Structure 1
Amino acid sequence: MLLTVFSVQAANKNDSTEFKGHWILQVQGGVSHTVGEAAFGELISPAAAISFGYQFTPVWGLRAGLSGWQGKGAVVYPEQTYKFNYLQGNVDVMVDIVSIFDGYRAKRLFNPYLFAGIGVAGGLNNDEAAEIPTLQTGENSLLWDDLITPVGRFGIGLDIRLCRAVYFNLEVNANMLSDRFNSKKGDVLDWQLHGLAGLTFKFGTAKAKAAEPAPAQFTPTPAPEPEPVPEPAPAPEPAVEEPEVVEPQIVPAEDVLENIYFLIGKSVIRDCEKAKLESVVKAINENENNTVTVTGYADAETGSAERNMELSKERAENVAKALMDAGISEDRIKVEYKGSTVNPYEKPEQNRVAICVVKCFIYE
């Protein structure tokens, strides 16, 4: 925490001012825990405190306060907790931790402090303890009606600056009281722990000085320099003619034709025909403008017209799919099918075919 505090203060070196003694008012609320023979949460009770003090130097201060509200105790057999009220007055010596090392700064954001003190506590309303049988007759009983006990205490706190006179406060402290505090014998002392939050008000603090402006620097006016003599204008450079860029022209080239033959009544591409497909793929890839038209046929001497139309469609589509599987995009392939209505060749086996025509282009 101290490393964080020092790093924040390093950015505020301009907020230093002469320290001025001032009054302090703290209002706090939170919880207390009376150490005893029960689970931690079962011995939690409310607590409040109000303190008034004076900060004599950047490091040392003194405060007097009233605190209290409720304490708790517990017995083991039978397992039972009981509560009572108390009021405590104390005087604490306070030490500002960061001011020891970094001096006083009016705008410091985090202000941790240590404190130690003494006081007197009074107990009252101990009726619940008086009703417990083991505290009425047990040898460990220190039952009381009204209690006065000295107190020793110490703790740590943190003031977080909200504005010049108001700080958000967090504090934890430990209080050492008489063994009678929780109405039963135990160790030499009874302990009560406090966790508090609240506000700290500071009255009469000095305002931070604004950073003083730097003194004006006197700079003598230099003697005027002689006016430069203009140099003759350079001769214009000869114009360089940019070569004319001739865009290449796309012109048609000789088409590539491949016939993919099929067995009678079949549309499956045979292995012996796949070399022709590779030739078609190569021709298409020679120019990004090349496209292919695949037209399927069936011979008229076999099958019905409807079956032949379906067969020619399957042949053309299977060839197109093979081209796409080889990396040719679909938008560069056109599929047609004629059935047996058109036979491009005389022999029937030649008409069981898908004809691939690659439309080719070249650049000139």
Structure 2
Amino acid sequence: MKKFLMVLALASVSVAGMAQDELTEKYSVATNSFWSNWFVQANVAGTAFYSSQERDLDLSKSPLKDFRNNLGLSVAIGKWFTPGLGLRTKVNGIWGRTVDGDNAKDNASKYWQANEQVLFNLSNMLCGYNPDRVWNFIPYAGAGIARNMSYNTYAMGLQAGLLNEFRLSRKFALNLDLSYGIHEPDFDGNGFTTGNGKPSIKSKDRDLNVEIGLTYNLGKATWNKVPDVDAIRALHQSQIDALNAQLNDANAENARLNNLIKNHKCPEATAPVTVKEVAAAPVSVFFNIGKAKVASKKDLVNLKALAEVAKDNDKTLVVTGYADSKTGSANYNKSLSQKRAETVKKELVKLGVAENKIEVVAAGGVNDITPVSYNRRAVVTVK
């Protein structure tokens, strides 16, 4: 039995390892709504049964013996609460064996068992979330109840296993599910045990399952990347520094011209001369994928500084909206970039900039900045 389990586990890891992607981008994800990341599964199962009463019968332990194994079915529904942690409710059974001897026909029985299981996606936990990963390695553990319909008995049990999911598309995955269950002696309909009666694994009814089937992801099956706050903050700070430097240069030039006029005692100059030509660094406002709502209100701090420059110097601001060309069609990205530009225009109006002093441009989808999330933005410049 132990050797068989080890062979199955090694075969699973070996085959799946060849299909696994080599590089995975690690990043944090945003929490989805309760109705996202649900899935359903359906499998064909091969099960080998080990009864508590066979301890002293000296029967072959091979799970391939016909008096010990049978085919069955399983269905499950579950949800991922994070990329690495989920819950699954699973029901399997129909055709079983009560191993009282080596006669397959005499051992036949019918049963079902229901388990609640906790899933741990170690691929996402250890390697980082990747929606395009080919193989996900998912150990699980759970508990539940079983009923032997042929003998009208119930039993509690524990189960642990390994779910291997091979990605076919964003909606479908191929399952290879290996599990081992330990149950009360009534699981197979025969509640008595043989031997000295001391508690041991052999005093329990057990089952070994190998299942193959499909997973179907319901609704939204992926997770959105959280914007890199540190990178965005650094970008904003560099823009602020550039803007402050330009303002300082403009103020110094203003003071120089005023001092020049004062020294020459120009009678026509009754007021300080103000330089109207101001070069200001563009300000970027970032958005989450597919959204036209500002990702971080901190972006508006930089927007306010640029709005003040435009008002003080009677300048026109140009708001250019962009979208990520790797996501969505060209028409969709054109519309999304327009909405993003309009969102920023509304914020500028709130900051006191007149609407006739704001121009809006929809640039559509682009891919000119790395990482790709930086392309989901609107850029404000002084005209």
Of Structure 1 and Structure 2, the greater helix share is in 2
Of Structure 1 and Structure 2, the greater strand share is in 1
